[in-house]
Amino acid sequence: MKFLRSVVLLPLVLFSSLGSAAGTASFDSGTNTLTLSTIKVDSAFSVQSVVVRFQSFGTLAVDDASVGTDITYESKTNTIRIPSITVGAASYSRIRLTNPTFSLVSFGAIVADAETPATPATPTNYNLDITVTAAGVTVPPIRVANVPKPSGQSDFCVTDIYQQFQQGIQGASGSLSITSCSFNGTTGQIAAKMTIATPFFSTSVDYSVTYTYSPA
């Protein structure tokens, strides 16, 4: 069951990898808009292609030691940290904005973060092909070799496998609901809705995952 839990969580890990690279940021002083390639919110999920418009910058710090390699937003303290930002021809490093006032102009894909799945202790002779679609974006299929196959639908559709992901979004106000789950002995399908609400923004994301088992 531990491995099955990891396998069902794997698509969330795959989606989190889309936003794991250090992001880029640029500021347009003419429109007071900040464009971010990717921003990680509350260490729980990432949002791509974010544009915000500032009414005020709050407290601005440059070359701040608390800034890491990723663009981040912490809702509890209303703090944005940016490793590097360009303003016209100039560039600045390790920017921290505390208590800024801004509005969200637009954003793109939302990606969830989850723990890395464990390696199965006893591999078996099945290949598992996983296809994920979330918010209209389809991740290229991946193959996991030498995995055990669930014995049936009751083994595949177990609700406690989603508790780990629910705990993973505890930094935000979020919920995960499974809308359908099925397994025919060869192919499993899961459909779910993730709802996220923070001071930064609120939205819901529909996603579906298809798991296809074949003999190795």
For residue 86, the model assigns a pLDDT of 93
For residue 15, the model assigns a pLDDT of 47
For residue 110, the model assigns a pLDDT of 65
Nearest to 141 by CA among 151, 154, 127, 161: 127
Q: Is the pTM of this model over 0.85?
A: no
CA separation for the pair 41, 75 (Å, rounded): 8
CA separation for the pair 103, 100 (Å, rounded): 10
For residue 117, the model assigns a pLDDT of 42
Name the residue ranges covered by the structural domains of the chain: 25-108, 122-215
How many other CB atoms are found less than 10 A from the CB of residue 150? Answer: 21
CA separation for the pair 154, 130 (Å, rounded): 19
Nearest to 113 by CA among 16, 207, 5, 6: 16
For residue 200, the model assigns a pLDDT of 63
What tens-digit pLDDT sequence spans the chain (216 residues)? 444 444 444 454 444 444 444 568 999 999 999 999 888 887 767 778 888 899 999 999 999 999 999 999 887 788 999 999 999 889 999 999 999 988 888 877 666 554 444 444 445 788 888 887 776 777 677 788 788 888 888 888 776 554 544 444 444 556 667 788 889 999 988 888 877 766 666 777 787 888 889 988
Q: Are 171 and 15 contacting, i.e. CB atoms less than 8 angstroms apart?
A: no
